Structure 1
């Protein structure tokens, strides 16, 4: 599990017991880890409006002896996220002779990510997100780079029971055209992981300006699209390999789809039966 997730876990584990001032301080630290890592306590205090004493008290409540220890954890977290893919490959190769095989470490990371998601997920936010998807006139999905196939998979699942979900920016389609067709009754769902796709960030910002509701699934509070999200989700994505793990992200997205179907009416079931009938007529699936 990466250091960023451990910091988020510390905050999540203590959040309910924090005072209003300490909650504001914790929210700022998690949303601005890069600034906390790079700037002095006095500068962070001036930027956040939170007193140095409150920031130091937050550090102690979270289990650090000093604010500087919290800041050092932020430095490590930022350093991990800022590594290029080639640097991560080098780290992977350097660790290849470790006693624990890569597949064991990868599996352990995925299990840890999913466990952390289950333990820290805001269930109320998840339900509100599913309700927004159910009420939307249309849902537009967008993912770039490694997230492309993930949103395509979600589109495949939802097209079984809905005709209002579309993929943006795929197979020559214009992302701008999809955004231009959106309105306040629509939802944009974006998945983006480090390194963040510029088009994904700009798409969320544009959708927010249109008045559409936005869902952002990412791996860190440092994701620049988070501030434009109606429903933000920070999903653990740690992995010993050179790329982010999507195991917990898939768990979240599949859960959203399952919740949508579970709370829908008979029309959904009939739609799925009709799709299955057409699949059978077309001979899409192998039959012995």
Structure 2
């Protein structure tokens, strides 16, 4: 559409605003779209028209009556709502259904692999070694590292904290200490670093911890996508990456790859600290006598 601020935030709103201009063919098309908005976001105009039993050009005419230049722009609007998780696409089940619809074209596993490969290629084109080095230098020079990820990224937060600990760095996984967050952050200082993982949107607790870090003078890092980028105040260093286009698998491999690159670069610049600590941990684990089930 010509003006972004005039775009309604759901398909239902769009129909209501233009109801007096709709034809019988439009009504049939909209019935199909409203019945399955997720599928509508993935199909082209010809496929939607076929399901509605109208002329293939009817979808284009509908899109123009609704204020779009053509059906591809209308579909982009639907996909944007899908990835934002608003209106007709606000549930995780709807987003998963959209990925299943996309997978029908070439097989489920192939669809997931294609999505992961495409997302990783975008990382190659958008993230530089300089971005990685800014993170690793911050970690090398700090006293402690606090990592915070919520939802799916709580698992990545835990993994980063574990790997840093084995590399000889005092790391705290805040995601596993939400019930003791005040105690964990009470001694936060300018010598510390807080590393955020925020995708789709920054959770309220991310904003709250960011405010505490700012008040305490701690350095902050963040790996986000565009939707999760609104952290205020802005982090000292931030890497923005896409985890996949609308209707594609939203990659967990992408942020994990960024984290792996940071930890590897850290080992390259910390004058052997990481390598010595890893060797010492390996020797301790072998000689500790602790049950293998615990390790």
Task: Provide the TM-score with structure 1 as the length reference.
Answer: 0.67
In the alignment, structure 1 residue 108 sits paired with structure 2 residue 127: no
1:123 is aligned to: 129
Q: CA deviation at 1:250?
A: 1.0
1:215 is aligned to: 221
**Count of equivalent residues:** 222
Q: Distance in 2 between matches of 1:80 and 1:39?
A: 18
Answer whether contact 2:158 2:175 (CA < 8 A) is retained: no
Answer whether contact 1:219 1:234 (CA < 8 A) is retained: yes
1:176 is aligned to: 182
In the alignment, structure 1 residue 167 sits paired with structure 2 residue 179: no
Q: Distance in 1 between matches of 2:210 and 2:79?
A: 25
Q: CA deviation at 1:90?
A: 3.0
1:228 is aligned to: 234
2:40 is aligned to: none
Q: Quick one: which of 244, 264, 286 aligns to 2:270?
A: 264
Q: CA deviation at 1:180?
A: 2.3
Q: Distance in 2 between matches of 1:77 and 1:188?
A: 33
Q: Distance in 2 between matches of 1:161 and 1:89?
A: 37
Q: CA deviation at 1:95?
A: 4.2
Change (3 A) 1:239 1:104: farther
Q: CA deviation at 1:197?
A: 2.2
Q: Quick one: which of 78, 81, 86 aligns to 1:79?
A: 81
1:38 is aligned to: 5
Answer whether contact 2:112 2:249 (CA < 8 A) is retained: no
Task: Provide the TM-score with structure 2 as the length reference.
Answer: 0.66
Change (3 A) 1:107 1:239: farther
In the alignment, structure 1 residue 191 sits paired with structure 2 residue 197: yes
Q: Is there any run of 5+ residues in structure 1 with no aligned partner, and where?
A: 1-35, 41-67
1:277 is aligned to: 283
Answer whether contact 2:201 2:228 (CA < 8 A) is retained: no
Q: Quick one: which of 126, 135, 138 aligns to 1:132?
A: 138
Answer whether contact 1:216 1:233 (CA < 8 A) is retained: yes
Change (3 A) 1:122 1:80: farther
Q: Quick one: which of 211, 233, 237 aligns to 2:243?
A: 237
Q: Distance in 2 between matches of 1:73 and 1:221?
A: 20
1:200 is aligned to: 206
2:13 is aligned to: none
RMSD (Å) for aligned C-alpha atoms? 3.0
Q: Distance in 2 between matches of 1:263 and 1:284?
A: 34
Change (3 A) 1:194 1:37: same
Bigger relative contact order, structure 1 or 2, given CA contacts below 8 A and separation 6+? 1
Q: Any idea what the Cα deviations from partners look like across 1:32-60, whole Å, max 9, x if unmatched?
A: xxxx83369xxxxxxxxxxxxxxxxxxxx
Change (3 A) 1:239 1:136: same
Answer whether contact 1:205 1:225 (CA < 8 A) is retained: no
Answer whether contact 1:106 1:241 (CA < 8 A) is retained: no
Q: CA deviation at 1:251?
A: 0.9
In the alignment, structure 1 residue 144 sits paired with structure 2 residue 150: yes
Q: Distance in 1 between matches of 2:74 and 2:142?
A: 43
1:91 is aligned to: 98
Q: Is there any run of 5+ residues in structure 2 with no aligned partner, and where?
A: 8-67, 86-90
Change (3 A) 1:74 1:184: farther
